[in-house]
Amino acid sequence: MAINPQSFFNFAAQNYPLLHDIFRKSGGMNDAELSDLIRRHRVGLESPSTLIEKLINLKIIEPLPDATASYEMSRTVSVLFRFLLQEQRLTSTAVIHAYLDELERAQTDLDHAIRDDKHSLIERALDEITETMERIRQDSRANREAIINEVMTVKSNREKRTVSERFEKILLLWNHYLEPLKDLIDVRKTMDASLDSLERLLKQGAEQFLLDGALHREFARCSVRLVRLRRDMTADFHESMHEVEPLYVSLKQDSSLARGVARALERIGKEGIRSLNLPTALALRTERLREGLFDNTDIEAFLHNVRGYQPQEPPVINLGTELLSPRFIPPDELIDTLRQALPVGDVLQWLLNRYEGYPFPELLRAYGRIFGSDAFKAGFSREEKKYQLPGMTVHARPLAVEAMP
């Protein structure tokens, strides 16, 4: 049975503290616990049983599958709360792969509908493509927020976790979410080729139905959503990497050091300090070492002098690695612009001049698209050339392209 939206939001507004506490009960609650929670937050004269019935009818709560007279917040409302509280959960790339399979199926349906000139099927396929793209985009944005929240939790370390435990959390993010997502947005991988194919199909449809105002607008809107999807996914990935990578490197080093120290202490406890063979490892004369203690008055005097030392802030070293805001070069715009400039004797130099100010990784994406495109005849020069960019020098043989014969 359909829920009256006004009744739902009125009830939610009047009972928000109750709903918030139900959301926090991630493991669910039995009938007595829910009744007690209702008594603490009750705003009217309604009995707990009446409010429980309303919660069920509005589909805010549902029975637990493994217990009787026990409830949990329904997934739909729980997702809404996580969105409002910016506490999104991570979506695995396996789910995004499933979305991509669904997108390819809808793309095939759209291709057939365009060829058969069936407007109703075209509209349906475009709706499915739009819905799937928005799911991918929302999951990508939710992943970014979830990753940033996880990084903040690891940095604050309010739970007093060890270095190894915190590193395991970051390693999970790195291996299960960032590395697979990096493969997804790679210009040489399946997703990029699939989205390129979809972009060409949408452009073809917009041109074919130019005189049909309604369909032409739908094709144009879908094309714009596709551009936004690619731009947002790239931005989400770069921002997530910007948050996780420094912490990953730092915790990896600390974790390795902690593991080494733990092993050394364990060995000392079992076999004594002589088992570490410090004189050989540290290149010390044996007479200077007695059970791991340096018998040296000069060192003792030095440590007395160091005791009052106040460290100063280290100087800031500018490595010239300031992050630029992500900018995206639409593939069709790239190919059309290059066609107008043919022949081009040096593609990389043409990109540096034509798209000045774009991040170098995005220029490399564009370079990869041109090199892999079947729209041009391409060949490399024998002589290597040096390209001077801000903060780096690139050595490469120029790639020349010309129109297909």
The HSE-up count of residue 276 (CA atoms within 13 Å, CB side) is 21
How many Å apart are CA 109 and CA 129, to the nearest integer?
A: 10
What's the confidence (pLDDT) of residue 80?
84
Asked if pLDDT for residue 382 goes beyond 90, the answer is no
Higher confidence at residue 180 or residue 320?
180
Confidence of residue 121 (pLDDT cuts 50, 70, 90): very high
- The C-alpha atoms of residue 197 and residue 179 are separated, in whole angstroms, by 24
For residues 282-293, average pLDDT: 54
For residue 331, the tally of other CB atoms under 10 A from its CB is 21
Mean pLDDT of 5-22: 88
Q: In this model, does residue 324 exceed pLDDT 50?
A: no
Reported as a pLDDT band with limits 50, 70 and 90, residue 110 is very high
Question: Which residues, other chains included, contact 280 with Cβ-Cβ below 8 Å and sequence gap of 6+?
Answer: none
Quote the CA–CA distance of 89 and 39 in Å, as a whole number. Answer: 31
The tokens for 211 are 């005189």
What is the distance between the alpha carbons of residues 286 and 288, in angstroms, rounded to a whole number?
Answer: 5
* Model pLDDT, residue 150: 80
Average pLDDT, the chain: 79
Q: Are 372 and 188 in contact (CB under 8 A)?
A: yes
Average pLDDT over residues 283-306: 59
Nearest Cα residue to 73 out of 51, 85, 56, 48: 56
- Range scoring the smallest mean pLDDT among 52-66, 110-124, 307-321: 307-321
Rounded to whole angstroms, the Cα distance separating 32 from 12 reads 22
Q: Is the pLDDT of residue 320 over 60?
A: no
Provide the pLDDT confidence category of residue 183 given band limits of 50, 70 and 90. Answer: low
Average pLDDT, integer, range 344-356: 89
Distances (CA, A) of 101 to 130, 165, 272, 390: 14, 36, 60, 40
CA angle in degrees (0–180, nearest 5) for 94-99-104:
125
Please, which pLDDT band fits residue 85 given cuts at 50, 70 and 90? confident
Q: pLDDT tier at 260 (50, 70, 90 boundaries)?
A: low
**pLDDT value of residue 298:** 63
Least confident residue range of 11-15, 36-40, 106-110, 288-292: 288-292
The residue among 77 and 175 whose pLDDT is bigger is: 77
Residue 122: the pLDDT is 92
Give the best-scoring range by mean pLDDT among 5-14, 260-269, 274-283: 5-14
Determine which of 228-237, 301-310, 330-339 has the lowest per-residue pLDDT on average.
301-310
Instruction: Tell me the percentage of the chain whose pLDDT exceeds 90.
Output: 8
**Structure token pair of residue 309:** 């030392």
Whole-angstrom Cα distance, residue 4 to residue 315?
Answer: 62
Q: What is the pLDDT of residues 222-247, one digit of tens each?
A: 999 898 888 888 888 888 888 888 87
Is the model's pLDDT at 292 over the cut of 70? no
- Amino acid identity at 189: K
For 88, the token pair is 């999104």
Q: Domain spans of the chain?
A: 5-84, 93-259, 262-301, 331-403
What are the pLDDT digits (tens) for 249-259? 777 776 666 66
Which range among 25-34, 222-231, 346-355 shows the weakest confidence by mean pLDDT?
Answer: 25-34
Assess contact for 103 and 88: CB atoms under 8 A: no
- In this prediction, residue 394 carries a pLDDT of 86
Q: Residue 282: CB partners within 8 Å, gap ≥ 6? A: none
Name the least confident of 78-92, 148-162, 287-301, 344-358. Answer: 287-301
pLDDT band at 106 (very low <50, low <70, confident <90, very high): very high
Phi, then psi, of 116 in degrees rounded to 5 = -85, -5
Mean pLDDT of 323-339: 74
Whether the pLDDT of residue 321 is over 60: the answer is no
Residues forming beta bridges with residue 388, ordered by sequence position: 393
Closest CA to 335 of 364, 361, 373, 362: 373
Other CB atoms within 10 Å distance of the CB of residue 78: 16
CA dihedral 130, 133, 139, 143 (to 10 degrees): -140
On the 0-12 / 13-18 / 19+ scale of CB atoms within 10 A, 106 is buried
Choice between 26 and 334, residue whose per-residue pLDDT is larger? 334
Q: How confident is the model at residue 135 (pLDDT cuts 50, 70, 90)?
A: confident
pLDDT of 201: 92
Percent of the chain with pLDDT over 70: 80
The class that CATH gives domain 5-84 is mainly alpha
